[in-house]
Structure 1
Amino acid sequence: MDFIGAYSIGNINYLLAGLLNTLLMALIAIIFSFIIGSVLGILRYAKVPVVSQLVVVWVETIRNLPLLLIIFFTYFALPEVGIKLEVIVAAIVALIVFESAMLAEIVRSGLNSIEKGQIEASRASGLSWMQTMWHIILPQALRRMVPPIVSQFISLLKDTSLAVVIAMPELLHNAQIINGKNVNYLIPIFLLTALLYFAVNYTLSIVARRLENKERSSKKTTGKTILHHKKAGGEAM
């Protein structure tokens, strides 16, 4: 093992360049997969004839396929039908397709967690379905969805390492390149690579836990408030 040689300025900079590509790829995939996943989740929740059924088929199909297969398809299969993508674009597209299906299920579950009575009350008060969804349901559902969404984003960040199979210059790929120069760099380089992955993902996991605890505290506060009002109403009677 050669820790001194492995941790040269050049090697560390090369690893950090790979980490930057990983974070950039994850950020773009997170933004677009969240948008697409939200739309798919809402369409599935709305139970629009034909459209919702098509969304169910798409989401369930993608969720039950390995991400590695989707990456291979976007990079190797699409060129066979005239769609050739650059390595980074192919990796990002594969991540968006896969993660949007995962997020669609999170969004649908979050929307289903809202009591149906709120929808009925909103519609009875004269609000349209869209107004009810936008002003009443979505704000509450989003607060409940934040912890699982952050957890899914952590998974997405780790999944970027699978892009190594198409030679995407992300963190793991660059670590392998450095190791290829000298077999004595194997343990030092992969220890540092693991540390970089851990630092980023652990930070995100802390955020997810805090958001989850905040949501639990909010639910407890809401429950106490409702109980207080019920007691007050009973005493008034």
Structure 2
Amino acid sequence: MNPLFLFSMPQFSFLLQGLWLTITVSSITIVIALILGIILGTLRFENIPILSDLLGLIIDTIRNLPLLLIIFFTYFALPQIGIRFSVFWSTVAAMSLFESCMVSEIIRSGLKGLPKGQAEAGYAAGLTTWQVLSLILLPQAVRNMITSIISQLIALIKDTSLATIIALPEIMHNAKIIYNQDVSAIIITFFIVAVLYFLVCYSLSLLGRRFEVKRTYN
């Protein structure tokens, strides 16, 4: 079979379906990870006795585990205790857990990097701890860390390919199906996948640079 058959609409559409699922998983994951990451990062930043140390231990443990292991655990181990997810939601759950820990460290670093006078001024104005965090510190921390968060999102999109191991029909999984039809199509398949990955990730990197430029001039 001629490898150029990949440029026909059915095969290319099949790759685009996989790319769309990759983006869908990544989008859902980053929303969950941002919410949990902000909460976890803030709790660690506040140095709440026992709780912050416990969260720190859990977060550091998860951050130092292979994402593939967490995906395996979510899909294969959790059903043993009665918790079952589909392939899609197993991937989202595993990646959300991992990414929320990564984002929490970004947020905590962003909060620690702010001048202490900002919080002190808020308290002096009669604001509560929650108001200081939500109205003064977090907006600045997120704005300062937006490029790091986007970089983490780019890594997340690429890491979605690990879910091929549990047969999530993302772009790498669909690419494997296509080139298994004809081994001679492997090179052109990988080339097309690489281009699609590049277009998505490079677009995000440009977005990150734009935020960085805006932050520099503001």
Aligned pair 1:200/2:203, yes or no?
no
Counterpart mapping for 1:16-95 below 5 A: 16-95=16-95
Match of 2:155 in 1: 155
Q: Which amino acid aligns with 1:22?
A: T
Q: Which amino acid aligns with 1:157?
A: I
Asked whether the 8 Å contact 1:164–1:170 carries over to 2, the reply is: yes
Counterpart mapping for 1:122-137 below 5 A: 122-137=122-137
In structure 2, distance between residues paired with 1:30 and 1:157: 10
Asked whether the 8 Å contact 1:2–1:188 carries over to 2, the reply is: no
Deviation at 1:165, TM superposition (A): 0.6
Show CA shifts across 1:151-172 (max 9, x none).
1111111110110011100000
In structure 2, distance between residues paired with 1:138 and 1:21: 31
Show CA shifts across 1:133-185 (max 9, x none).
12211121121011101111111111101100111000000000001111121
Normalised to the residue count of structure 1, the TM-score between the two structures is 0.89
Match of 2:181 in 1: 181
Structure 1 window deviating more from structure 2 (199-208 vs 48-57): it is 48-57
Q: Which amino acid aligns with 2:82?
A: G
Deviation at 1:215, TM superposition (A): 1.6
Show CA shifts across 1:79-98 (max 9, x none).
11111211111111111000
Greater than 2 Å deviation, 4+ residue runs: 1-4
Show CA shifts across 1:75-130 (max 9, x none).
11111111121111111111100000000000001111111111112212211111
Asked whether the 8 Å contact 1:34–1:103 carries over to 2, the reply is: yes
Match of 2:211 in 1: 211
Could you say what secondary structure the match of 1:53 adopts? helix
| RMSD, aligned α-carbons | 1.2
Residue identity (%): 47
Q: Which amino acid aligns with 2:131?
A: Q
Normalised to the residue count of structure 2, the TM-score between the two structures is 0.97
Could you say what secondary structure the match of 2:126 adopts? coil
The count of residues paired between Structure 1 and Structure 2 equals 218
Match of 2:103 in 1: 103
